[in-house]
Amino acid sequence: MPELYQQIADNKRKSWLFVLFLFVLVAVVMFFFGILTGMGSFGFILALLIAGFSAIGSYYWSDKIVIAATGAQPADGKQYFKLHSLIEGLCIAGGLPKPKVYVLEDDAINAFATGRDPKHAVVCVTTGALRKLDKSELEGVLAHELSHVKNYDVRFVTFAVVMVGIVGILANMAFRGMLFGGGNRDRGGKGGSLGIALVVIGILFLILAPLFAKLVQLAVSRKREYLADASGSAMTRYPDGLASALEKIKKENLPVKTASDTTASLFFANPLKNFSVGGLFATHPPIEERIKRLKAM
């Protein structure tokens, strides 16, 4: 158990480093945005406003945005009494306030959590998971998602998704500005060769920045899944339940219909098609490795 707490603390330190990295990356993107669009300081301020409003919006309304994007519905207390009871019991065990509970009409076995902190959290589970998982398996999946809430993973993942998205949006806007001739005003003017060099560097940076930001985000997110598996198993004291749920997901291999590249990292298991393919662009660790680690506990 002390090792688990050490992993949580180490994970939080790495997350803050990643957040700092994203802020620096966005700042540099905003700098080149001003140069390539020919807007100068005004372009930097415009990019800053776009990034600022996006970050604030993601902090306060991330749960509503994700719920609307997936089409999830509130879980009625009477119809889903067993689900509410399981979550209440796990919250007591984990020292958490009870989150809002939602269900997503989908045959795939999956779940997700979102929200800015434990007091403003949402846990959603698919109807497929409710039908196909037994009590210990469902409890393991719910404990995994509640661990994300307790460790503030939901805040981090939502922030990371938004900031990586901002990098892509600003890069796209800068290239569009160049196509319409916005950057031409500064290329051959007073800046001379230095101005041309900055434009070339800016183009290369804006091409690579979204890809690099996404790769780092996914790498950090994958580590958080291993930690949530361990934390969830500590909450239920039965890792075999979670391992069994993962085995069922691996066997049926069904995507979640309303999931997207934007929301994929929030789910318990990768909800997209062909999610068994691992690598740098995987949103989650390989299911086989997760099962192996759980069975070794």
Instruction: Indicate which residues carry an active-site annotation.
Output: 145
Sheet harboring 111-115: ordered strands across?
73-74, 100-104, 121-126, 111-115
What are residue 123's DSSP bridge partners?
A: 101, 113
- The CA distance from 126 to 180, in Å, is 46
Long-range CB contact pairs, 50-59, < 8 A, 24+:
50/166, 50/169, 50/170, 51/26, 51/163, 51/166, 51/170, 54/162, 54/165, 54/166, 55/159, 55/162, 55/163, 55/166, 57/162, 58/158, 58/159, 58/161, 58/162, 59/116, 59/155, 59/158, 59/159
- The CA distance from 8 to 6, in Å, is 5
The residue written with tokens 């051959």 in the block is: 188
- The CA distance from 211 to 217, in Å, is 10
